[in-house]
Amino acid sequence: MQLLEQAQSLLNFDGQTTFDVNVLDAVINTMYRGQGDAQRQASEVLNVLRDHPDAWTKVDCILEFSKCQETKYYALQILEKTIKTRWKALPKEQCEAIKQYIVSLIISHSQNPELIEREKVYVNKLDIILVQILKHEWPKKWPNFVSDIVEASKTSESMCQNNLEILKLLSEEVFDFSSGQMTQAKAKHLKDTMCNEFTKIFQLCEY
């Protein structure tokens, strides 16, 4: 019961209360491995936190200090939901900061073959989040994305493999899943852009 009382502090975004990642780790652990009322209450706290409009501001703190892979994945779920539902409402500088943050995490993990293999699920979620950002930013606000990813792929084989995975996810979103998720004009524009960039992508496949 004491843990669940502590967990309520996670829902306080007044700027005065310290966000305790250790408490979040414990709540996540209770949800996955607890039983009965404790498990149910832990799940309720996590759902409320995930839905809080400012929860995304704690993601970097969670990813840096959490000792639990489930907690890190939960944090990425928060960020993914924010990007899907509130991206256009966020200030431009915050969008840019989120974009750079995700890119830096992907680079740091995909440069290390052992790390990318050990944290495959985590890296895949990072890739999915980047694709969600691209659906908003590319090509208009990020015209050099394909060129950037092709150039970065030359630094290591593991990064090249992960970048191909990002392009695969992007193409699936554009060609397979665009129906109902974006306007026809937006979908057509992304498809045309993808086709125009095919030569660069083919060079990456050859690498």
- What is the structure's pLDDT at 199? 78
Residues 70, 34 share a domain: yes
Residue spans of the chain under pLDDT 70: 1, 177-181, 204-207
- What is the structure's pLDDT at 188? 83
Residues 86, 32 share a domain: yes
Residues 64, 31 share a domain: yes
- What is the structure's pLDDT at 61? 96
**What is the DSSP code string of 6-47?**
HHGGGG--SSSS---HHHHHHHHHHHHH--HHHHHHHHHHHH
Burial of residue 115 (number of CB atoms within 10 Å: 0-12, 13-18, 19+): middle
Residues 99, 74 share a domain: no
- What is the structure's pLDDT at 178? 60
The model's pTM: 0.90
Q: Residue 29's domain spans which residues?
A: 1-90
What is the C-alpha separation between 139 and 141, in angstroms, rounded? 6
Instruction: Tell me the pLDDT tens digit for each residue of 113-142.
Output: 999 999 999 999 999 999 999 999 999 999
For the chain, the domain total comes to: 2
Residues 158, 118 share a domain: yes
